[in-house]
Structure 1
Amino acid sequence: MSSSRPQTILFADVSGSTRLFERKGDIEARRLIAMVLDAMSGICARHGGRVVKTIGDEIMCTFPGALNGVLAACDMQRRVGRDPEFVRESLAVRIGLHHGDALEEDGDVFGDAVNTAARMAALAKREQVVTTAATYQSLSGKVPEARSLGRARVSGKLLPIEIVDLVWQEDTSGMTLVQSSVLRQAATEEAVANRLRLRHRGNEVVLDADSPVFMMGREAGNHLVVEAEWVSRTHAQVEFKRGHFVIADRSTNGTYVRIGEDEELKLHRDELHLRKSGTISLGRAGVPDAPDLIHYEAE
């Protein structure tokens, strides 16, 4: 029997697990990861939540309300951050959550809220809790502070959405905090339309904050095609997230980016904030006036 109702979906995964397996071996690494997941499962239950499933080093939970999920996420971070064994092994967690309608079926949950929560988890870094501004704005009472992370794209949504980073640490000195009232005001104001110009072989493309992810590579299906043997089929992508344009490398040979007059940087399975103006070269170091050199300008 399927049913849909509002609930908070939370994803958390263990950061540092790959190196843990390399250093400790399979048995000990699995033991430590299981300890982290068990600790988070216990916190989930204490906040009225339910563990939907664990997959590898990731846990998925649901909560009846947004505040339950937010407080659980903060407690999860504190629990892992205070455990001497986890700290010694450089283990931490990344958490993303979102409150919305989700379809329940055979103990699992599906739908837009699940997809959005998964995207929040993907955006989170270690020791970070990321949620949507809409979820944060729905909270009442004594709630954690938050920092704005700008806007991010979520699959299935036409426009980017506002996201925030929850401040779970007790010592918040030196942090730039955003109150709920400020977030509510920002959500109602029209965002400034940042733009990025890309020029390649005489063609120009202008991206703004609402543009879909811009793909570059050797295959014809990409938005920008560079036909060269050193370029991967799907080589790199440019996306507006967290308030600025970011280029992410997905290739075998790397992506070379020069910002202004700085030295050229090589990205390999990593991402970089595109600032000012400069050049992008797919697959090999850029050569001035090379026909396949991509010029960019951030406005």
Structure 2
Amino acid sequence: MPLACVLISDITGSTQLYENETNEAALAQVSRILKRMRGIVEAHGGKCVKSQGDDVLSYFDHPEPAFQAARAMIHEDWPAGLSVHVGTYFGEILYHENDIYGSAVNTAARLSSLAKPGEILVGDQSYDDLTPESKDQLLMIGELQLRGKAAPTRVYSCSVTELSEQTIVVSPGAKGRSGGLDFAEIRFGEKSWQISEGESLTLGRSTECDIVLKQAWVSRKHAVLAVRRWQLEFTDHSSTGTIVRMADGRNVGLHRRATLLNGAGSIFLGPETHLDESGRIHFQTHDLALLETAK
């Protein structure tokens, strides 16, 4: 069977549009967006197969133009507050009666359904053949066990939104590891903790927490740091959110979300408007086995 990069782009917000507009006006808006998406696909060398409902099924000879088309879609200024979410996957396809089928189509559809508004989810087979510049636009969010696939699929995200609004997929991680002790080091004030596989620390204003902060904007049980399946996972449970400062100085907001932390950085419990250096929590991972990326 031939190989292709399948792209499925879907409109977000059309249901609300039909509630706010007449059926005729809403259909006209959706039709214009579908036409524009088909135009973007063709402008990047892709082939449109069909539009069904609010989505467009297309395919490309290579993942790079597919990714560039997807980026153009999520950055387009769509009317009526609508947006687009996209899934792409490279693999074998089967042509039949002016349609395409196969594992790549099924995987792209699954990724598209998981993507959030303004987000592209890219499977490993697509990611591995992208240019270094395109790979720099993507964040690996973990592995996803897809129906019908024996092995988990590495999933990457590119989004017009901040990390806290991206899809979070926690990896199943490596099994049967051996060797030296892998751990994450957490520091707050004069105290430090080392946690390894299966261990966790609770953060919050309650004295029952492992790391206690007294600022009024910190929730009683604000968040949890844990090493799960050899990766450092941070989960925010608060009402005010958390700011994670990366090694490059960039602040990323999280609110009632989980994400994976790698390398070194800082955690500030509470919103960005209330950053308090006295509440800085440092983290550093030591030889934690993150998912392998393409070599």
Task: Please tell me the TM-score bracket, short chain as reference.
Answer: 0.5 to 0.7
Is the Cα–Cα contact under 8 Å of residues 91 and 125 in structure 2 kept in the other structure?
A: no
Shift of 1:5: 0.6
2:187 corresponds in structure 1 to none
Name the residue aligned to 1:101. Answer: 92
Counterpart amino acid of 1:43?
I
Deviation for aligned residue 1:56: 1.1
Letter in 2 for 1:20: L
State the AA in 1 paired with 2:103: D
For 1:274 and 1:142, the matched residues in 2 are separated by: 27
Structure 1 distance, partners of 2:13, 2:110, is 19
CA distance in 2, matches of 1:9, 1:66: 8
- The answer on 1:162 being equivalent to 2:154 is yes
> Quick one: structure 1 residues 142 and 244, their matched pair in 2 at CA, closer, same or farther if it must change by over 3 Å?
closer
Q: Deviations over 1:93-137 (max 9, x none)?
A: 110010111111122111111111111101100000001133112
Q: List aligned pairs for 1:120-131, cutoff 5 A.
A: 120-131=111-122
Instruction: Give the letter aligned to residue 6 of structure 1.
Output: L
What TM-score do you get using the length of structure 1 for normalisation? 0.54
Identity, % of aligned pairs? 26
TM-superposed CA distance for 1:151, in Å, is: 1.2
1:191 to 165, 173, 180: 173
Structure 1 stretches of 5 or more lacking a match? 177-186, 194-242, 246-258, 263-271, 276-299
CA contact (8 A) 1:12 1:58 kept: yes
Q: CA deviation at 1:153?
A: 2.0
Corresponding letter in the other structure for 2:149: K
Q: Is the 8 A contact 2:40 2:72 kept in 1?
A: yes
Q: What secondary structure, in the 3-state scheme, does the structure 2 residue paired with 1:139 have? A: coil
CA distance in 2: counterparts of 1:40 and 1:18, whole angstroms: 18
Counterpart amino acid of residue 73 in structure 1:
A
Deviation of 1:162 after TM superposition, in Å, equals 1.0
Identify the residue that residue 126 of structure 2 maps to in structure 1: 135
Output the CA distance in 1 between the equivalents of 2:158 and 2:128: 12
User: Partner of 1:39 in structure 2?
Assistant: 36
Question: Gaps spanning 5+ residues in structure 2: where?
Answer: 165-170, 176-230, 240-255, 260-295
CA distance in 1, matches of 2:66, 2:101: 17
- Choose from 138, 141, 156 the match for 1:149: 141
**Structure 2 matches for 1:1-299, cutoff 5 A?**
4-79=1-76, 82-83=77-78, 86=79, 89-140=80-131, 142-143=133-134, 145-167=137-159, 169=160, 191-192=173-174
Shift of 1:244: 11
Tell me if structure 1 keeps the 8 A contact 2:75–2:118: no
1:274 positional shift: 9.2
**C-alpha distance 26-244 of structure 1, shift in aligned 2 (>3 A):** farther
AA aligned to 2:4 is Q
Q: Residue 23 and residue 112 in structure 1: after superposition, are their counterparts in 2 closer, same or farther (change >3 A)?
A: same
Change (3 A) 1:25 1:115: same
Q: Find the aligned partners of 1:63 and 1:56 in 2 and give their Cα distance.
A: 21
The separation in 1 between residues aligned to 2:131 and 2:257, in whole angstroms, is: 35
CA contact (8 A) 1:52 1:61 kept: yes
Residue deviations 1:194-227 (CA, integer Å, cap 9, x gap):
xxxxxxxxxxxxxxxxxxxxxxxxxxxxxxxxxx
Q: AA paired with 1:191?
A: G
Query: Normalization by structure 2: what TM-score?
Result: 0.54
- Secondary structure at the residue paired with 2:134? coil
8 Å Cα contact 1:77-1:93 kept in structure 2: yes
**1:244 and 1:273 in contact (8 A); partners too:** no
Offset, 1:159: 2.8
> Partner amino acid for 2:83?
A
Moved over 3 A (4+): 272-275
Pick closer, same or farther for the CA change 1:6–1:155 going to 2, 3 Å.
same
- The alpha-carbon deviation at position 166 of structure 1 amounts to 2.1
Q: Secondary structure at the match of 1:99?
A: strand
